Chains A and B, each alone.
Chain A
Amino acid sequence: MDFRFSEEQTMTADVVRELLTDVCQPADLRRLMGEGAARDEGRWAKIVEMGLAGAMVAEDKGGLGLSAIDFVQIAEACGYAGLPEPLVENAGVALPLLAAFSDNSRAAALLERALAGEVTVTVAHPANPFVADADTAEAVLIVRDGAVHLVETASVAIVAQPSVDPFRRLFSVAFEPSAETLIASAEDAATPLAAAFDRGALYAAAQMQGIAQRCVDLGVAYAKERQQFGKPIGSYQAVKHHLATAQVKIEFARPVLHAAAAQLEQGDLYSRARISQAKLACADASDVAARTSIQVHGAMGYSWEVDVHFFLKRGIALTNWWGGNAFHRERVAARVFGAALGPEHTFAREAENA
């Protein structure tokens, strides 16, 4: 029993964090927004250069074979930076799912290019009503009646569905399934799709954890600077207590998130409940932190000029992406009402309790 990250895991996340500090500041976000471009090609090239595209794909399939524990802090860093590009969804969700179908030659060929960083892939999962980043992706993995189809985005009609988050690019995809598009039957796809859902939910949670901390940090920086009644507003207890309350939410979402990452591979009742608990806790933290940050900024907080709204909006989007709160609460309920409870079951596995 050792609930700590290895030095290597923390170092990898630090490298990503440093890169994003360098190339993904709010000024960069605003520039991208002004240009109306799908992504910042320079930044994306640097991210691709880090070789993380294959982070979560097994080594025998050409990836780095990392685990969720290695990736979770990277996803937090992406949330903290408000990264527009699909590092998390491509490397964390789409490519491991694609790799599960690498017996199929079309999937294998696409995987090779995606691992090289030449192209990205996106997923049309039934949990999500729209497809993210379909315009920049080379191909979409589409679920239809439980079976998985692989289609090139160039060959389908995509319609933009603008999001409140200026950096989320959502699309509806019109598509006719056929024998040519099919890469996995419903039976073969069930387990990989369930795993993809768990990864999607876990990394959405991780990004929200990053968002929450960013919102508190923005609020703290402003509260130190802004003076009223001759003192920084951060010296007043009313302001301090708001920010402390948000930080408590963050502190108690974090261990749940990290335990969920460690337990992800179990793929059982317990790990699913833990992932759902993490998503609920991180969504709560990001909600409280974003609203707190706006309040601490006063009228400035409600302005377009202050950066908090970017994080508020990403939090709103991710709260409902890969399952909303009601869905995840039911997965927790399945564990709470369906299996043994108590302190001796904190790290339980279905295999042990069968």
Chain B
Amino acid sequence: MDLNYTDEQKAFRQEVRSWLEKHVPATPLPSFDASREGFEAHRAWEQVLAEGRWGMVTWPENYGGRGLDLIQWLIFEEEYYRSGAPLRVNQNGIFLLGPTLMEYGTEEQKARFLTSMASGDEIWAQAWSEPQAGSDLASVRATAVLEGDEYVLKGHKIWSSRAVFADWAFGLFRTDPASQRHKGLSLIFFPLNAPGVRVQAIPQIDGETGFAEIFLEDVRVPAFNRLGGEGEGWNICMATAGFERGLMLRSPARFQVAARKLVDLYKAHEGEVEPTVRAAVLQSWMDAEAYALSIYATASRLAAGGHIGAEASTNKIFWSEMDIAMHKAALSILGARAELLRSAPEAGDIGRWLDGYFFSLAGPIYAGSNEIQRNIIAERMLGLPRA
């Protein structure tokens, strides 16, 4: 065990830091879920990142990456959040689909999709859930019928993050109409501007249109757009979910920076708040540190050839509950000012905490509800019997 960065790792941190200091936009970009303008501003930022080859540092060089290991990825993320750089509009692509493509895609598919993903030229949305397939994702009904060398897609997808403005989506489709449950599903990509695709925005609690429903009416895509074999969609999808929950979706730096801001907020209002708030602030810092240490332990294990297992589920529960607790602590510090919208003349920076609180409420739901995660922990980690 060695909890010291090597000189090489320290130098890498400096390199990331100085690049970000030069390139991070001075003023925050408008939300990528609220307007086309905000979305495109974020795409432009992705392109700046890609020009510096910072789009996805763990990817191989031929797909626009730097071939770095997970510890270096953590260092990159630490500097990224420290710098206040924009959120990653292509997170569905780079953090979820990207690693899966790397593992299951053919060389042709990787060449076609990974490079344009890393460059920000194609922004991805996910299309997994359906009105009748939420936590019970295996009851997907959308179909893909092979006609020649094309699939014809039909169905109704919902809760698709980024779908309003994104270019592409990946989703689960039933390729074997006679199949039941997990069998007969395939993972297929489709352009969101293809004929027969209709995207309907769904306003969220905060009023932004962060997700959408997608209606597919005889949408034709080449069979090339299927990732993995026909009928292998479920297993591939679970691998994606593992990455999402496990490591990449919520890097620890995000919460460590939030904890630092929370401590600053507390210090600014120290005399006005009750002692329980102080304890909550300290707990938030401790939880963010615990999450970071846990991810360092996982990254060290993966670097030595280990695999991510049910800890993907423990991570997801931990960060989503921590995120809510942090924002609740912030709102209690703000007291009666907490309800101010960003547009209020006296809101200043306050609105960020309210926005963050609303977003944190989605954490225990998306990427597999925390109830499902608890089932996974109970069954796969603790060995309790299935219902």
Q: How far is the CB of A46 from chain B (nearest CB, A)?
A: 28
Whole-angstrom CA separation of A253 from B287 in the bound complex: 9
List chain B residues, Cβ under 8 A from A240: 374-375, 378-379, 382, 384
Q: How far is the CB of A344 from chain B (nearest CB, A)?
A: 6
Q: A2-B300, A235-B385 are in contact. Are A344 and B286 (CB under 8 A)?
A: no
Q: How far is the CB of A179 from chain B (nearest CB, A)?
A: 44
Whole-angstrom CA separation of A281 from B290 in the bound complex: 9
Say yes or no: B293 contacts A1, CB within 8 Å: no
Whole-angstrom CA separation of A251 from B295 in the bound complex: 11
Q: A3-B296, A343-B256 are in contact. Are A336 and B1 (CB under 8 A)?
A: no
Say yes or no: A277 contacts B4, CB within 8 Å: no
Our pick among B289, B297, B299, B301 for the contact of A258 (Cβ within 8 Å) is B297
State the majority secondary structure of interface residues on A: helix
Our pick among B260, B318, B384 for the contact of A223 (Cβ within 8 Å) is B384
Say yes or no: B13 contacts A344, CB within 8 Å: yes
Q: A1-B296, A1-B300, A341-B259 are in contact. Are A346 and B382 (CB under 8 A)?
A: no
Say yes or no: B267 contacts A251, CB within 8 Å: no
Whether B208 sits at the interface, judged by CB under 8 Å, is: no
Say yes or no: A277 contacts B9, CB within 8 Å: no
Within 8 A of A (CB), among B263-298: 263, 267, 278-279, 281-282, 285-287, 289-294, 296-297
Q: How large is the interface on A (under 10, 10 to 19, 20 to 34, 35 or more residues)?
A: 35 or more
Whole-angstrom CA separation of A346 from B386 in the bound complex: 39
| Binary contact readout A40-76 vs B (1 if CB under 8 angstroms, 0 otherwise) | 0000000000000000000000000000010000000
Say yes or no: B285 contacts A336, CB within 8 Å: yes
Whether A113 sits at the interface, judged by CB under 8 Å, is: no
Q: How far is the CB of A170 from chain B (nearest CB, A)?
A: 29
Q: A343-B81, A343-B253 are in contact. Are A2 and B1 (CB under 8 A)?
A: yes
Say yes or no: A234 contacts B378, CB within 8 Å: yes
Say yes or no: B297 contacts A3, CB within 8 Å: yes
Say yes or no: B5 contacts A346, CB within 8 Å: no
Say yes or no: B378 contacts A241, CB within 8 Å: yes
Q: How far is the CB of A177 from chain B (nearest CB, A)?
A: 38
Within 8 A of A (CB), among B315-358: 317-318
Whether B6 sits at the interface, judged by CB under 8 Å, is: yes
Our pick among A1, A232, A236 for the contact of B2 (Cβ within 8 Å) is A1
Our pick among B292, B297, B314, B382 for the contact of A243 (Cβ within 8 Å) is B382
| Binary contact readout A236-273 vs B (1 if CB under 8 angstroms, 0 otherwise) | 11011101110110011111101100110000000000
Say yes or no: B301 contacts A4, CB within 8 Å: yes
Whole-angstrom CA separation of A248 from B78 in the bound complex: 24
Whether A154 sits at the interface, judged by CB under 8 Å, is: no
Having A234-B384, A281-B290, one finds 7 other A-B pairs with CB under 8 Å, namely A236-B387, A244-B374, A248-B317, A262-B2, A329-B279, A332-B285, A337-B267
Identify the A interface with B (CB < 8 A).
1-6, 9, 69, 216, 220, 223-224, 231-232, 234-237, 239-241, 243-245, 247-248, 251-256, 258-259, 262-263, 277, 280-281, 329, 332-333, 336-337, 341-344, 346-347
Residue pairs across A and B with Cβ atoms less than 8 A apart, 21 shown, are A1-B4, A1-B300, A2-B1, A3-B293, A3-B296, A3-B299, A4-B297, A4-B304, A5-B1, A216-B382, A224-B385, A235-B387, A241-B374, A247-B377, A248-B318, A255-B290, A255-B296, A256-B286, A336-B263, A346-B256, A347-B4
